[in-house]
Every structure is written in C-alpha cells, then in structure tokens.
Structure 1
C-alpha cells in the first residue's frame, strides 16, 4: 500500500511540472492572401507536433489556438482581443499581412502579449514596441537589394506600381525614400487594388514613359495579373518582391512569369545553393519535412512562420516559465539561422535581419532560378 501511495505521489508531482503552452496564431488562410497564410498555418502545426512528440518545451506541451483572419483587419482586431482576453495565450504568431499587423500593434503592448508577425513592413517594428517583433524581411531591405541590383546593371529610370494595401503603401514609401540614396529616378508611379482584374491602363502609361525597369509591389493574385498584362503589352524588365515568391504566383501567371526577377528568401532556391552554404541544411530539412507532410511546395511565407515559431521557442526556453521575461528573451536571440536569414535581435532591432537575407531570383521555364 505504501509503495502504491509513493508511486501516486511521484506521479502527481511529475504532473505538476508538466503544463500546456497556449500559443496563439493568426494567419490569413482564406481570402486574397490565402496562399500566403495557409503554409504559415501548416508550418506552425507541423512544428508544434514535432516539438510535442519530442517532449514539448521545458516539458510543456504546445496547444495552438488558431483563427483565420481572412486578411481582414477588423477580424484580426477581434481575434487578437479574443486570444488575449479569453484564450489567455502566452504569445501570438502572425498575422500574415502588414495592415492586419499594424491594427493590433498597440494592443500587443496594452495586453503585454508578445506578437511575432510574419508581415513585411518596417513600420511594424518602427518605432520599437517592447512586445512586437517580426520575421519577414523589411520592405526597406527589399528596396535596398532591388536598387543595388538595378544600379549595378545600369537601370536607374524606374517605374513603380504598388498595391493599395498596408503592404503596398509601406513598400511605396520605402521605394520613394530610398531611391535618392542609390541615384534612382522614380519616373512613373501607378497603383492597383488587390481585387483588380486588369491593370492594362496603368501598364500602358508606364510603357509609354520608356523606363528601364518596372517594380511591382503586391501580393495575392493581382501581381500575376500584372505579369500577364505586361506580357500582352510586350513589356520586359519586370521586377517583383517576395510577395510573388511562391509556386502559386507562377501557376497564376503562367508563361507570363518567365523572365520576371524578384527579391526572395533562399528557401525557393535551396537546392541551388552551393554545398557548404551555411543556410542550406536548415532550408533543405524544412523543405523536406513540409513537402512530405503536406504534398505541396514549400514557400517563403511558411518560412516566416517557421522563424517566428523557433524564435518564440528559444525565448520560452530561456524564460523558464516566467512569461514576463518573454519580450526581453526575444530581444536576446542572436545568431539564429532561420529560413529568412540570420536573426540578431536587439532592444532596438525587432527584426534582426539585413539585406543579405535576400537573393535575386529569376523565373525561367516556370522555375525559380538563383540569379544573384
């Protein structure tokens, strides 16, 4: 009887140290940005399953609490409040889109709830908010990488066509702000909505201006439409951002995608990296695990969620159960080799990446090819 009692006491004691980590996730799985948010959700689910199967984090198992924002800012606002006040999560991964992140940025501080966004805009982390971080490469870094490439090949008269969204607006601002630094002339500026079905009129104006190159800044189906419209007009030298860095873009654009160049993370050309490249093993392991589980091509967007999850995991491990330490521990993440690049967070830098997180990729015969 005593042995049984001792066993039960030991079992109860062990259970007391095993807990549940309620981790929030906000991704746009449906709606215009659905092909961005779906791999993000899938990635976080995959990683949570892997960690739980290995015993959890510090012995605690992860319980994901997920809501589909549909890319809608009002839904994001409502769901974030629910995660904070009702679900009592310890942190939130996502959202997918810039606008959705910006509407909850102040709430993260109000609820003292760490938020690790998968969106791009530098405005998400500028000015620094103690509780807000992001893993996608910043739009200012995108612009610097694009202009560096264009100037090197002698293209300085540029047209821009940007989406009327949070992502497009902050991208436009970055393009205009950084251009003088590189001696780039933004000769023409056009806009489009992510629901537009034809952009021929804007592109015709750009073609008439005789620019050296066109930069399209958008996500979702619209950039693919721009690619098809540009091909119909006989236009070349089209550049895009990582918003088009997915197999879905090529599928939607068809043969009009060929010849387009874009900034992208290394994940979409992981196999083409030389042996010994310091990112290759992480990228290839993620690619293998994701594609074998979901029977779908890996993308940079899922990579943003991979990085957000692992940065949270690292900080949670270091906090040793003291949730008030989470933001400070995220700021201390150094030398983390993720999907987007090497992360070196700090109290003044809540992204921790440089423009070296990007490569220049060209689409040839329906495939992403490492160009630079």
Structure 2
C-alpha cells in the first residue's frame, strides 16, 4: 500500500502540472517517443482519444520540466487502421526518426504488423491494443497497457455463471480483435461450465446482422449472447438489430473493445441492459473513495474532458497508462537508452493506472489481473457498475 500511495502522489502531481515550458528544457536535446495510431478510419473511435491523450500529457510533462531535464518529442503517424501502413510507419520511426520507445498500435492487426520491426530494432514497444497474442508468448521488446481479450472472456463468463447461464450463443466479428477474442473464449469457456450452442460471425463492414441474430433466436436453449467484434459500428449495428428482433429475453454481452459512450449513443435504446467488462475509468465517479484507482481515473477524466470537451473512453485511458509507464521507466533508468528503458518497463511494480494496478515481470509484460476489469451494465443511457 505504501508503494501504491507513493505512485498515486506521483500521478496526482502529473495531473496537476502547470503550464509553461522552461528555457532550459526547450534547449535540451529531446527524448523522442514514437506513436502510430488509427486516428482516422474504422478504428478512429479508438485512435482519436489515444492521440489526444498522448499530445495532452506530453505537453503537460514538458511544461513541468520534461523528463531528465529534457523535453519529450512525440513523433506520430496515422495508419488509418491499415496494417501495412502501420508497419511502414514503424520502420520510419526506427530508421529515420530515431525514437527511443514506441507507444501506440490502436488495433490488434496494426500492432501485430509492427512487432517484428521493433523486436528487430530492439526498441521497447508499448501497445495499446487488446489481444492477448500481443504479449503471449512474451517478446523481449513488447509490452501492453490495456486488459486482454482473454480477460474479457473470463470476466463475462464469470458473470454469466453468477446468473446461472449455462448455454449461450457466440457471435464474432472477423476483425483482428474479434477473431482473437473468439479464439480465447473458446479456449476458456469450458472452465465455467458453459456450452456454446451456436457460433456466428460477421464482417467489419456488415450493416445488418439480422440473419445471424435470427438464427440465434431460433436456437433452443440459448440463455445469453456474447459478441466479440469491436471494429467500427459493427457492435452498435448488432445491438440495434438485437432490439429490432425483440431479443431482450436473451441478455446481450459486449466486449471491452466497445467500452465508450459512443457505443451507447450509436446503439440507442437497444443498448439498455447490455453488459460488458471495462476499465474503472468509465465509472470513475461511482468508485468508492477507498479504491486506489479513484484519484487516477477521476484526475484523468477531469483533465481530458476539460481539454477536449469530449467524454473519456478506456482507449484514451490506455494511452495515458502506456505513456506514463514509459516515462516512469525512463526516470527509473535515469537514461533514454532503449535497452535500459526496456529493462525498467519490465520492472514496473505498483503502477496505478486507469486500467488497474500494474505489476509486470519477465514472464508477464501486461501485469494486470482479471479482477482489474469491472462489470458494467447500460442503465438509462449510462454505465452502471455491477461488480
């Protein structure tokens, strides 16, 4: 608890940084950190808040004197959700931009395309995407800030078990995250005594999931539905179709990849009662005062919403966590040497972020537990904390 308290004090200071960059910091050689994000395209709802967060907090860190007396220079590119572009930009960051670390990768697909580049260059890569395949097997240079898709499966199945659901339907998007989460759910579902009676898929560009949902509705014994797809408006389309088919008697679960207020807005009244696992950030004001994450999530929410005029999302929160872990690693290493930053990242302990309390090891480059996920339900157009 002493370690967590010290970390909270440090983060509270970062949140309350003053404006104005000193002349000495301006004159110092910058520490260059790269970022490739999906700011435009189908995954812009992920990449846009990530980009805004990284810019906002880089500016605030620099205004407070930078890191090791040097400013951070954020070198950013927009891959528009295209894995080939992401790889090209990753190579540019390594070969031309001379970055010492990377914070980015909005989607599983773009992240996986960039991993070989940073592994070969021996540059630490803090991914902001969801798939467990990013950090399993453990790679020397690759770390991750948000929870994994497998954790999402486990959190959902645990809630289903509490509600005595034993027979369900699975519907999966064919995007990178949707495919990966489907695979992970199939691997762990038996542990919860749950059977998948019907398994459907849909494409990232599909605008009507009525046929798949009609098959699910017609399948005897289905007690609940889990959707693993997260790209674009697919989850909202599925939810609206679910409402149109009057399937409320079969509870719908979404995945952590849709954890933003825009999902509720796009889904409309059909989202009422939908459950999903998400970071504590979405229910910051509802957390008890004793929760160690409360100062961090409320501070980030206030800072982000004041600066952007937009509601927070867990995606921006993941970017905050990723950047702060890299910055703290540079401070602990007392160096901008990529090798020392990598080693310090692996030694991250007791870091309290928007996603949870992080304790990394050489065998775990995420450092979060399943319990870091909160179970939420859409209630009256907002998030309700269930567990």
TM-score (norm 2): 0.91
| 1:109-142 CA-partner distances (Å, limit 9, x unpaired) | 1011111000111100111111001111011111
> How do residues 1-372 of structure 1 correspond to structure 2 at under 5 angstroms?
18-210=28-220, 211-219=222-230, 220-236=232-248, 237-321=251-335, 322-372=337-387
Contact 2:179 2:228 in 1 (8 A): no
Report the structure number with the largest CA radius of gyration.
1
**SS of corresponding position for 1:339:** coil
The CA distance in 2 between the partners of 1:113 and 1:78, in whole Å, is 16
**SS of corresponding position for 2:364:** coil
Contact 2:25 2:69 in 1 (8 A): no
**SS of corresponding position for 1:360:** strand
Structure 1 stretches of at least 4 aligned residues deviating more than 6 Å after TM superposition: 14-17
**SS of corresponding position for 1:278:** coil
How many Å apart are 1:231 and its aligned residue? 0.5
The CA distance in 1 between the partners of 2:302 and 2:84, in whole Å, is 36
The CA distance in 1 between the partners of 2:372 and 2:80, in whole Å, is 28
Contact 2:36 2:105 in 1 (8 A): yes
Uncovered stretches (5+) of structure 1, i.e. residues with no partner? 1-13
How many Å apart are 1:18 and its aligned residue? 2.8
Contact 1:101 1:117 in 2 (8 A): yes
The CA distance in 2 between the partners of 1:368 and 1:32, in whole Å, is 24
Alignment CA distance shift 1:72-1:16 (3 Å): closer
The CA distance in 2 between the partners of 1:196 and 1:160, in whole Å, is 17
The CA distance in 2 between the partners of 1:365 and 1:167, in whole Å, is 28
The CA distance in 2 between the partners of 1:46 and 1:193, in whole Å, is 34
Specify the alignment match of 2:5 in structure 1: none
Query: Which segment is superposed worse, 246-255 or 318-327?
Result: 318-327
| 1:233-274 CA-partner distances (Å, limit 9, x unpaired) | 111200001122111111111111111111111111111111
| 1:49-103 CA-partner distances (Å, limit 9, x unpaired) | 1100000011110111111111110110111111111111111111100011111
